Structure 1
Amino acid sequence: MKKKTPAKGKVYESGVAYTSRPVVVPPSIDFTTDPDIVQVVVEGERLTYGHLFNPAFATEIAQIEPLPHQRIAVYDHMLHQSRLRFLLADDAGAGKTIMTGLYLREMLTRRLISRVLIVPPAGLVGNWEHEMRTLFNLSFTIVNGNDAKIGNPFTQATSDMLIVSVDTLRGDAMFSRLQEPDVVPYDLVVFDEAHKLAADREPDLRLRKTDRYRLAEALAGIPSEVERWSLPWSCQHLLLLTATPHMGKDYPYYCLWRLLEPDALATIDAFNAYPLDARRRHFLRRMKEELVYFDGKPIYPPRYCHTMSYLLNSGEVSEQRLYDETTSYIQTYYNRAEVLNRSAARLAMSVFQRRLASSTYALLRSFERRQQKLLLLVEAMRSGKLNPAKLKVTQMELDKLGDVFDEKTGDEEEAEADQEENEVVEGEALEAVVAATLAELETELRQVEYLCHLARRVYEAGNESKFEKLREVLLDPQYSREKMILFTEHRDTLDSLVRRLSGLGYTDQVAQIHGGMNYREREAQVMHFRKPLEQGGAKYLVATDAAGEGINLQVCWLMVNFDIPWNPARLEQRMGRIHRFGQKHSSVHIINLVAGKTREGRVMKTLLEKLEKIRKDLDTDKVFDVIGKLFEGISLRDYMEQVITGNVVAVERRIEGTLTKEQVMAWQTTQNVLYGKDGHGGAVKSELPRLTQTVEQETCRRLLPGYVGRFLEKSTPLVEIGIEGDLQGFFAFRPLKPGRLDWLLPALERYAPEVRENCTISHPNSEQQVIFLHPGEPVFDRFRAYICDRFAEDALRGAIFIDPTREQAYFFHLVQVTVIRMADPTLRPFKRSETLESRLIGLKQWQDGAIEVCSPEHLLLLRGCTDLPPSLVSFAASADEASARAAVFVREQVVENIAREHRQTLLSDMAQRKEFLERSFIYQAADLAELRKKQKEKADQGDRHAKGELTRVKQRQKELADRKKEAIEVIEREPTLIVPGEMTFLAHALVIPSSDPEDRLRYDATIEAIAVQVARAYEEALGAVVQDVSTAERAMEAGLGAWPGFDLWSRRPSGEHIAIEVKGRAGFGTVELTENEYIQACQLQDRYWLYTVFECAKPQPRLCRVQNPFKKLLVNERKRFVINEGAIFAAAEEDTFYG
């Protein structure tokens, strides 16, 4: 046939009613393209739709094997929702970051999102970036406060995938950037540690919202009365992550739910009336005890807490004397600060008290800083720059300081100029004094100079009792060869520990992380610790709380609390670092070092021993996960002040009363009432049989490595690129002519030079430095896009293929279709259009005009051809007209049916959703009436603030009817906006019957049926359960893809599944595998069998079985996969079966 000018692919545009769209068909379909090119383009397009072939495609390319509960969350709860508004509240350490990454990968593959904003606490920013990059190959950019000063980070080229801390984003400068009109809305927003988006209700019914909560409201689409928080858009999908959704108060818990469905859950009464089945759409919580591996074993090993007490050394220059002298100093100034109501001065004393319990070096450094601060004050008073009046004013200003250790957890701290936030605040607190005169300042200065001198002498003596106790632990035979984490609250103690460990000979075996490091520095230290000892990895990791949160350290099962946090929530977080999924050791051990005879040590020893007793009494270590909850509203810092100034025994009794097994049991009962016993998620263990079967089916639906490898193998020669190395192992791309690889270099250069030489299509382990090529990876995506773009016109011209199983010719078309929700600028949620679904569809169009949908991989069942039989010239010439009819069929039948399914989903529960709205607005009206009444009473009493609030309440009452009308209209309007979107032809083919007599012998339907019967009988004789998957319909019924690449799916009595491709011959002769069968043989290796049945025309057919035919028969084949009978006999198992 005469070659024609390349044709441009035409697209059916969205944005107008689908019934008015003209039919535009690609011209010049002449079938003159090389079939290999068409097949490569079709495969290239198909590989971008991994989810259509493996519904859990993200699990193929992630550097992690998802656990049962993680699969349930993503694939049963989250992924099926067209608008995700979800609160994922699994227990700490369950892998919520991993579930988020899986969801992101799947949504990106489905083309349903393109812009993602992750908003964690400051301390978790680096961890999120690391996990998204290393586990899911997702490149996120971290945004910090300075970025808002030099430009708009939300409009940059890298703005599609951002991570920004919640406190940075809520700041005026950063949020104002988000409000700018040229910001493209984010499709998905993720809030980590969402319980910190705090809001509550005052006794007078006014809402008290933190700025964090107002930020979440803005992104969730809740209109604000304050311009500062107004945002012209809202995200389509909102994911809230927290292990503690309910912090002891009902109203803040409700406020989290309000972010998910602002109209339906506008009041707490509406929330309380929200039925359980409706809540299941938005909420999932599983406790540690529920979480299991696929074999049913618990994910979390038992956890044991050991408290090791040590005595301070005594003498003229000793720890005991330093303790006594420092305690006396603290007592004096605690008492004076309390009398004068100086909170900053009390905070300064708590610095010394904490550091006294931490290490001598930390205490020394604080005394040195205090001495310097006092010197400056004394000099200022002596010079007249400061007088008693000014001194009082400056001290009153310091009273605004808060206790970071007490008020925040490690992940909430913000680093400032390479310092942890607690260091900055401590530095300011050390300026706080109770002195009112120069004489009093000089008196304290002399005391501090004395204490500083004593601390230095004790430190320089080098005989620190706590470190000696630690050294006993390090040298203990059961621990001496193990990795270990050492936690401390203070960076000074960290520095001291690193020096002391180095002095013991561990110089290159100590890693350290603290809040003053940036996330890249932390990551390098963590990688040093994670590396095995025999490969030069660190044996010890010394860390502060500010760096410890969010870093997963399951390579280690030993943790030492060198000092014990006074904030129970911080202690709880520490215990979670190594007690999380992925921990391989049979148990986790936490060692606490306590000076048992000191006041503070007695308190902490009482606390820790009580925790261990409850663990034993209840036979569960759940108590370690709820320390912060049990001490809600109780300040250990206050207890510590009391032991300095009062009775230690009384404090010990209070702790005994606060921490009881009954309270732990009551807490568990409360959780069950709040969330339901199974957290709306169903027991994970009961789902294991279904999940195991699904995972087994997925092994036969994978695209990697086989389909990706075959695509590379067939496409590289087309662009004059060679593959150097082993495609089944590691390889590199090489240009066969100068300049042929230039277009791929920018993608390759994202990786280190040595890594570029190690490409692979097989799943690497986490230690391998390779480029794992797969859809979604930059090098592969660039390669695939280049191939598909370069040969797009050729694919549209079409090629000729042979289908040896058919007697009639037909056209094959590959079409990309979408369903969209059109924009409606009059309604805020619909200001922009949204893609609801994107699919790749194959079509068969017969000579008689009949059209049927088939799978896109259909071309893999065929083989290419260059000759067109004269009898089919006129049929081939009708391709343009035929494709026009196919376009009408796709638009009116296929895509309209998909759109109808989306509409029906919305219509099915529309009445219920409207009922929820009606009820919610009734509750809102009642709440506003009550709020108006209370504010009027206060206004009548002269409260000026109440008058302003009353005006706002009246305005809200006026607007209520309009808001209700719009909310109802949104529900009713949405189904009418769902229409077919863009439709694009990607490739065409003319498929003709075979004229080769040998093909008729190979594909004789009667002979094939006999062969399948013989093969099935053999398997059933072994006790196997056999499923016939030889047709698309039967394969899909079995949970496989339309064309799995084999005929029988056999489950042996051992539980093992094998894939069997059956070939039959009437007598003897060659057999042929299709491209699809060849790739699956490559994928499944030993689990793939070729069963060839010879002499099917005789009474006793002869079965020959070959395990792993790819390795034994096909590994060197590259074009047609024809195997002669001699090779089959040579490779077959020794036993022969006669049917």
Structure 2
Amino acid sequence: MTVELPVTESDTHIDFGADPEAVRVVAEGHRLGYGHLANPGFGAEVSLIDPLPHQRTAVYGRMLRQSPLRFLLADDAGAGKTIMTGLYIREMVSRRLLRRVLIVPPAGLVNNWERELRTLFSLPARALSGADAVADNPFKGEGSDLVIVSVDTLAGQRMFSRLAEPCVEPYDLVVFDEAHKLSARQDADGYIRKTDRYRLAEALAGVKVTEPRWRLPWHARHLLLLTATPHMGKDFPYYCLWRLLEPEALATFEAFRAYPPEERRRHFIRRTKEEMVDFQGRPLYPTRVSDTLSYELTPEERRLYEETTKYIERYYSRARMLNRSAARLAMSVFQRRLASSTYALIKSFRRRIDKLDRLITDLRTGRITFEELKADQDALDKVPDPYEETTADEEEAEDGREGGEVVEDRLLGGVAALDPADLEAEKARLEELLALAGEVHETGSGAKFDRLLEVLRDPRAADEKLIIFTEHRDTLEFLVQRLEAIGYTDRVARIHGGMTAREREAQVEFFRTPAVEGGATYLVATDAAGEGINLQFCWRMVNYDIPWNPARLEQRMGRIHRYLQKHDPVVIVNLVAGQTREGRVLRTLLEKLERMRQELGTDKVFDVVGRLFEGLSLRHYMELAVTDAGLREATEAIEARLTKERIEALRTRERELYGEGQDVREELSEQQEHLERESLRRLLPGYVRRFVGAAAPFVGLGIHGSLGGTFSFRPLRPGALEPLWPALEQYPEDRRNIFTVHRPSPEAKVVFLRPGEPFFERFRALVCRTLEGEALRGGVFLDPYARSPYLFHLALVSVVRRADPEVEGLEREELLEERLVGLRQEEDGSLEVCPVEHLLLLRGAAGVRPTGRLAAVPDRYREEARAWARNEVAAQRADDLRQKLLERLAERRASVERGHNLRLAELAERRRRLWKRVQAGDREAEKQLEAVKRQQEGVLRRHAQVTARLEREADLVAPGEVVFLAHALVVPSGDPEERLHHEAKVEAVAMSVAVSYEEALGARVQDVSTPDRAREAGLGDRPGFDLLSVRPDGQTMAIEVKGRARGGQVEVTANEWARACNLGSRYWLYVVYDCASPRPRLVRVNDPFHQLLARAKGSMVINETQVIEAAVVG
């Protein structure tokens, strides 16, 4: 994240005796820390991403414009919601409007969030586990400003209590990923049932809670909810998500229904995959093709299937189990594993036998009583089915085992009887089945594996990478062993939920690496790879096991069907034993999905399958399938649910809920124009390169290697590198102290040095702290265009919302805006805002002795400048921000009034009903009636508090302190020849010649040589060139024009040097000689940086011969 520099002007006296280059380095260091002021797309520039049109619209068009951010980002799966969030955080950190961020995803996505924030955005987040809250509070102190913790861990009492401790600073932004899992529902009697996840969200969102368990002394100002499925088929849970965004305005469901559409649009955005395109208007996502391959069981496998099914029917389906719920779950364990692999079934048989062995022994020895056994069995009723009730992103490993393995192990302890003799009988039957399964396993790989080999050996894609998904880790081990046994040794990667994040990343990298370079061709994975791991470099996937939860099927497909997938189509192969009962159910589902895809002409059906089956269980169909009649019922039910009409109805319903969405294509031309302007305003690599080269010697460091390629820092004196080692140690040894200022390829083993990156931020802070005193003393600079001396001040100006301890929600002062401002101050005391990069346009004058009125009383001028910056610059910004609040005040007040009135009406109706029950003698109703009265009082009290806050907030907006960072005395040039070259007449002739040349070629030319003209063209104040020329073929050229009265040298400023470095061949140097004669000569040089300037570190002088030698002929 951006390092905050402790700025203290102290009592430094301005004497202008500092090294001008030191002053310029400090000014540039601060400017690079506020890069968004130079480039509106700065966050994207310094991140390893290329945001897509829909991502740019969400972040720059919507989220950054809302303060505070209370937003529901609900794009389809695969849209890059993590990337949009990271980009928003990076931009807000650059603006100094975010410091503390708390990200709350499902457990399975914690590592993915940590990895993407670190690798793509240089945001070093700390991933927390429950153990972090045991000995200390992980939400305080170093490393607590950006943390990621799973929703269930944070909702746990120990972790949440840490968050509520008084020592914890409030988090500015809270992000909930997969926010639809923050569930709450309303019973028929109006009672609202909230999960702990939802109660956690309420506490962080600022909803007033009554239970002490969920009270926080603060709430987040900014709240971002991420989900691809905000509406899961029921209106009330959808409303509950919205209530988190605006707790007061949306105090009731009726208030949500009445919420104006324009207000909804402020808080919500959703784009479907069909609406998302790239900058050329092409769809982002390839077609998906699903092919279901049936296989016939061998006679031995068929016998094992029939015998195991009989066992399931006898001991689980028909037996009078001690716990019917646990019985159904245990039955599904065997059904799934029977369908998965004989090897997995053998493992389950062995575990079940071991469980029975121990139980029989315990019963016979009295180690466990019948009552204790019954209590243990009753407890199984609370065991959830992880494969059905959760998705891959929610699974959390336990002692190196996947969540499904842990639950299966518990379920295999369920029993159908308490008599040891009955248990012995079941054990004997299991041993028979185990022996039979062993025989089948020994005969060969089996029909299912043989079918898989056909897919692997398909000559149309024999050497292409392929993912094989299974539900069970035992089957994963079996597949890896068999593949390696038939010649695929060292070509198979594996991922399962028992692996650490680092182990998973290593396997993904192994799979990503081309086979010719030693990489894997196949990846065998459990659903641990079904979410949070992006594998779009692969386009083939085999579902070796078909998950019974359709949402898991969606997640698997999402690993390869996503942006940056180059192959069209993406192919999903499903392996199903078509003659088995379970196989026929699954085949019905999968084939119907593919028929719907073809009939609808879109693969949208794959994205909605989870919602089509919302509230229904495929396990229910599998239980039915145990009998022939039940099998018919199950297949007919699936056919009836998966119809074109139901899919169309779902899409219509979503349009009604979410609106028509956003036509990304309509905004493409505007987006492309913004991109073009941003490319001309970038700070990388040129400005960073210049800063690093100029600053390093001031802190005792030298550059080893090339700043234009890769380089290292070397200490010029003992210990010079020591302050920077903590940042270096964050990187692997193979890239430690190997840097580049150019965006590297993903596989390059270098550190990309840029603002926001930990080493650069530490280096920048070290430089600015070391030279702070020099910058505040001030230096002397020479301005060849000046006619009299003036002062330049670089200042930090802010706008704050002051604190009011008397108003709830306004107890703490809050920074609303902070920016760098350049000030130009003349001898008569007059002031004007000046570009912050102004010192890059000047030449240092280290040998010039400061004289004159400005040098005589600089401290007085400084204080006058401070007052002007506060009373004019900051005050104007404060007025603007105050006016925005006032413009929305009536609307916000009306929303709150409507929400509270509807809540009071709701409570009044409930009070009326309770009063009737009290009159009838219902004592329980008396207690409820008193509770309703307290709630009514609470709403009235809350209304007064919120109204007071709304009306007071604008009054508290005010200018903050003005802090100076650097000063300069700027004097005119004393060289008559130089003054001649910079005369207005010479400059005008040169510009006229350059413009005429371009217009003769049919170009559209804009003069951007002054701050006003540059801003009008959408550029920064000083873009580093004079003309922006667009040729008829669409080529854009940045042209720097230099005029000379006769001949002679040409000086390139540090600003022009850096911009030329950035733009390369798009940058031109037009030198017009003999401007004082009737026949000026134009000499054009393309890419002057690489031809003339690259060896210099900043501004430089080029003689006429060099210019002519580098010139373009013709």
Query: What amino acid maps onto 1:440 in structure 2?
Result: D
Q: Which amino acid aligns with 1:654?
A: A
Q: Deviations over 1:376-401 (max 9, x none)?
A: 22223333445655544432332232
Counterpart residue number, 2:806 = 826
Please give the alpha-carbon distance, in whole angstroms, between the structure 2 residues aligned to 1:341 and 1:1129. 92
- Any conservation in 2 of the 1:9–1:793 contact (CA below 8 Å)? no
Corresponding residue number in structure 1 for 2:32: 47
Contact in 1 for aligned 2:20/2:844 (Cα 8 Å): yes
Find the counterpart in structure 1 of residue 786 from structure 2: 806
Q: Which residue of 2 aligns with 1:816?
A: 796
Secondary structure of 2:396 counterpart: coil
1:107 maps to: 92
Q: In structure 2, what residue type is equivalent to 1:1125?
A: E
Q: Which moved more, 1:540-549 or 1:591-600?
A: 540-549
1:1057 aligns with 2:1036: yes
TM alignment of 1:561-600, pairs within 5 A: 561-600=543-582
Q: Which moved more, 1:1046-1055 or 1:238-247?
A: 1046-1055
Please give the residue correspondences for 1:706-721 in structure 2 after superposition, counting only pairs within 5 Å.
706-721=686-701
Which segment drifts farther, 620-629 or 373-382?
373-382
Deviates more, 1:1043-1052 or 1:739-748: 739-748
Distance 1:584 1:352 in 2: 39
Out of 1015, 1022, 1025, the residue aligned to residue 1004 of structure 2 is 1025
Counterpart of 1:19? none
Render the CA deviation track for 1:507-533: whole Å, top value 9, x for unaligned.
Answer: 222221111122222222222222232
Q: Kindly, what percent of the aligned residue pairs are identical?
A: 57
Aligned to 2:841: 861
| Aligned-pair CA distance for 1:940 | 6.6
Contact 1:132 1:140 in 2 (8 A): yes
Question: Could you say which residue in structure 1 is the equivalent of 2:904?
Answer: 925
Q: Which residue of 2 aligns with 1:655?
A: 638
Please, which runs of 5 or more residues in structure 2 have no aligned partner?
A: 1-5
Q: Residues 307 and 1058 (structure 1 numbering): CA distance in 2 closer, same or farther, change over 3 Å?
A: same
Q: Match of 1:152, SS?
A: coil
Task: Determine the C-alpha separation between the residues in 1 that align with 2:322 and 2:866.
Answer: 84
Q: How far is 1:976 from its partner?
A: 1.3
Distance 2:810 2:155 in 1: 25
Q: 2:181 aligns with which of 172, 177, 196?
A: 196
**CA, structure 1 residues 936+532, in 2 after alignment: closer, same or farther (shift >3 Å)?**
farther
Secondary structure of 2:51's aligned partner = coil
The SS at the match of 2:29 is helix
| C-alpha distance after superposition, 1:441-483 (max 9, x if no partner) | 2221111111111111111222311111111111111221111
Match in the other structure for 1:746: 726
2:405 corresponds to 1:403 = no
Q: Distance in 1 between matches of 2:359 and 2:921?
A: 45
Partner of 1:1078: 1057
Which stretch has the larger CA shift, 515-524 or 967-976? 515-524
| Partner Cα separation in structure 2 for residue 476 and residue 942 of structure 1 | 78
Q: CA deviation at 1:339?
A: 7.9
Give the structure 1 partner of residue 771 of structure 2: 791
CA distance in 1: counterparts of 2:956 and 2:488, whole angstroms: 67
Q: 1:338 to 1:818 in 2, by over 3 A?
A: farther
| Residue 845 of structure 2 is aligned to residue 875 of structure 1 | no
Q: Tell me which of 736, 741, 754 is aligned to 1:774.
A: 754
* Candidates 103, 121, 128, aligned match of 1:136: 121
CA, structure 1 residues 355+941, in 2 after alignment: closer, same or farther (shift >3 Å)? farther
Q: Distance in 1 between matches of 2:420 and 2:1106?
A: 102
- The aligned residue for residue 664 of structure 1 is 647
Query: Counterparts of 1:309 and 1:674 in 2: how far apart (Å)?
Result: 40
Task: Give the alignment of 1:189-588 within 5 angstroms.
Answer: 189-314=174-299, 318-337=300-319, 342-386=324-368, 390-588=372-570
Looking at structure 1, the residues matched to 1099 and 370 of structure 2 have their Cα atoms a distance apart, in angstroms, of 96
Pick from 877, 880, 883: which aligns with 1:904?
883
| Match of residue 989 from structure 1 | 968
Contact 2:322 2:374 in 1 (8 A): no
Cα distance in structure 2, aligned partners of 1:205 and 1:619 = 43
Give the match's secondary structure for 1:829: coil
CA distance in 2 between counterparts of 1:1123 and 1:60 reads 31
Distance 1:1086 1:939 in 2: 85
- For 1:985, the aligned partner's letter is F
Quote the RMSD (CA, aligned, Å).
1.8
Report the 3-state secondary structure (helix = DSSP H, G, I; strand = E; otherwise coil) of the residue aligned with 1:142: strand
Secondary structure at the residue paired with 1:445?
A: helix
- For the residues of structure 2 that align with 1:1030 and 1:764, how far apart are their CA atoms? 33
More displaced stretch, 542-551 vs 137-146? 542-551
- Report the CA distance between 1:745 and its aligned residue: 2.4
Structure 2 residue 72 is the aligned partner of structure 1 residue 82: no
Q: The residue matched to 1:294 in structure 2 has which SS?
A: coil
Q: Is the 8 A contact 2:288 2:603 kept in 1?
A: yes
Residue 604 of structure 1 aligns with which residue? 586
1:337 to 1:1021, Cα distance in 2 relative to 1, 3 A: farther
Task: Note if contact 1:69-1:684 (Cα within 8 Å) is conserved in structure 2.
Answer: yes
- Describe the shift of the 1:438–1:1009 C-alpha distance in structure 2 as closer, same or farther (beyond 3 A): same
Rounded to whole Å, the distance in 2 between the matches of 1:869 and 1:961 is 70
Task: Give the alignment partner of residue 1111 of structure 1, picking from 1073, 1078, 1090.
Answer: 1090
The C-alpha deviation readout for 1:854-912, integer Å capped at 9, x for no partner, is 11100111101134478x42331121111111111011111111111111110011011
Q: 1:1053 to 1:242 in 2, by over 3 A?
A: same
Deviations 1:599-634 (A, max 9, x none): 111111111110000100111000000011001122
The one-letter code of the counterpart of 1:1013 is S
Out of 149-158 and 837-846, give the one that drifted further: 149-158
SS of alignment partner, residue 266 of structure 2: coil
- Going from structure 1 to structure 2, the CA distance change for 1:496 and 1:889 (only over 3 Å counts) comes to same
Could you tell me how far 1:824 is from its partner in structure 2? 2.2
- Which one is further off, 83-92 or 762-771? 762-771
**Corresponding residue number in structure 1 for 2:1025:** 1046
Q: Could you list the runs of 5+ residues in structure 1 that have no partner in the other structure?
A: 1-7, 12-24
Preserved contact between residue 1002 and residue 1072 of structure 1 (Cα < 8 Å): no
2:968 is paired with a residue of what secondary structure? strand
- Please say which of residues 332-341 and 175-184 is displaced more in the overlay: 332-341
The alpha-carbon distance between structure 1 residues 410 and 866, as it changes in their structure 2 partners (threshold 3 A), is closer
| 1:83–1:236 CA contact under 8 A, matched in 2 | yes
Change in Cα spacing, 1:480 to 1:944, as seen in structure 2 (3 Å) is farther
**Deviation (angstroms), 1:744:** 2.1
Is residue 2:670 matched to residue 1:690?
yes
Give the Å deviation of 1:719. Answer: 2.8
**Equivalences, count:** 1108
How big is the shift at 1:49? 0.4
Which residue of 58, 61, 66 corresponds with 2:51?
A: 66
Q: Which moved more, 1:927-936 or 1:263-272?
A: 927-936
Per-residue deviation at 1:945? 6.0
Q: Secondary structure at the match of 1:813?
A: strand
Question: Once the two structures are superposed, what CA deviation does each residue of 1:793-830 show, in whole Å capped at 9, x if it has no partner?
Answer: 11111111111112121110010111111222333322
Q: Structure 2: how far apart are the matches of 1:79 and 1:1054?
A: 35
- For residues 20-56 of structure 1, give each alpha carbon's deviation from its aligned partner in whole angstroms, at most 9, with x where no partner exists: xxxxx95521111111111111111111001110111
Q: Give the aligned residue type for 1:109.
A: S
CA deviation profile, 1:995-1028 (whole Å, cap 9, x unmatched): 1122123212112112212211222222221111
After TM superposition, the structure 1 = structure 2 runs for residues 1000-1019 of structure 1, keeping only pairs within 5 Å, are 1000-1019=979-998
